Amino acid sequence: MTGLVYKSTGSWYTVKTLNGKVYECRIKGRFRIKDIKSTNPIAVGDVVEFELETKNDEVTGIIHRIQERKNYVIRKSVNLSKQTHIIASNVDQVFLLVTINNPPTFTSFIDRFLVSAEAYSIKTILLFNKIDTYDDDTLLEVKYLAALYRKIGYECIGISAKTGKNIDKVKQLMVGKTSIFTGHSGVGKSTLINTIEPELDLKTKEISEQHQQGQHTTTFAEMFDLSFGAKIIDTPGIKGFGIVDMEKEEVGDYFPEFFALKQHCKFNNCLHIHEPQCAVKEALDNDEIAYSRYRSYLQILEGEDEHYRTDNFEKEE
């Protein structure tokens, strides 16, 4: 039998077949997929093949094969820096929720996420949430960031999960696709998903006033079928996002504005740091590239993402 993984709790997987039947499955033996050293061999979004077995009148499944993934969203694992955790696979797009405050989303986090998504060919749309709560100065900051990322080629939408502003626009982008909603704990993911599909009634918790972070409610990703012909994978909130298995020479290729200039650099292996006649540095000097993006690039090259904890997954609000 073939099915789609809707939920993973570590040892058991909720799998739905094409005819809509749902089975609780476990894996057969140990899985290694194409040398991916992952702490979770099976992820939400995987297409798996399984066999049914009956014990004590209970029918469960044993997964014996995972079909090839077209892509996946990945992070570093909790304690083992050389291992990874696959958040979800076979996704069409990711909606990255950004808030200017309450809690703040820094450009270094946005850029790390975008680089990883580019590396795995996943389209990312930036959703600037909670715009109903911002004063004029904060709204100007939203407009500045949106303009910065639109110039690079990313779609940016200002939304309010509470008032419903631009929610219809988000829903239109989701039709017929499998989407992930992700972002820091507290940015409003669960509130947004409940606004999009109230019947899901996902648990939310208020922001911690002391730490300006979302409160922990669950630690597992889960896929849902929506009433308007879309699928969504709800993920736990991310405090940080590490770059996994990326050579220094290729990091710049995942900054689209850097990649567009690469051919004009004197050296084809230019790292855009100290090399002469570097088109990226010239563009930076001419304010054609945002300094925040270049700073994020340098931090990734220097391995500073190690200091951004990627092992804290919390469900928010």
- Domains assigned to the chain: 2-66 (2.40.50.140), 72-241 (3.40.50.300), 248-306 (1.10.40.50)
Mean pLDDT computed over 24-43: 72
**73 — pLDDT class (breaks 50, 70, 90):** confident
The answer to whether 241 touches 109, Cβ cutoff 8 Å, is yes
Angle at the Cα of 281 from the Cα atoms of 305 and 110, rounded to 5 degrees: 35
* Segment 208-261, tens digit of pLDDT: 444 444 443 445 788 999 999 999 998 776 655 556 667 889 999 999 999 999
**81 — pLDDT class (breaks 50, 70, 90):** low
Q: State the number of CA atoms in the 13 A half-sphere of 100 facing the CB.
A: 21
- What rounded mean pLDDT belongs to the chain? 84
- Smallest Cα–Cα separation from 91: which of 177, 162, 7? 177
Q: What is the pLDDT of residue 20?
A: 93
The answer to whether 1 touches 50, Cβ cutoff 8 Å, is yes
Q: What is the pLDDT of residue 108?
A: 92
What's the gap between Cα 210 and its chain centre? Answer: 26
Task: Tell me: pLDDT of 56 over 50.
Answer: yes
Kind and range of the H or E element at 14? strand 13-17
Pair of tokens at residue 7: 């939920």
Q: What is the pLDDT of residue 218?
A: 43
**CB atoms near residue 301 (< 10 Å):** 18
Q: How far apart are CA 136 and CA 139, in angstroms?
A: 5
**CB atoms near residue 185 (< 10 Å):** 26
Alpha helix segments (H runs only) across the chain: 107-119, 136-152, 167-174, 189-196, 248-251, 256-259, 279-285, 291-301
Pair of tokens at residue 139: 């709204």
Contacts 24+ apart (CB under 8 A), 272-275: 272/297, 273/298, 273/301
Task: Tell me: pLDDT of 30 over 80.
Answer: no
Mean pLDDT computed over 111-133: 93
Q: Let me know how long the chain is.
A: 317
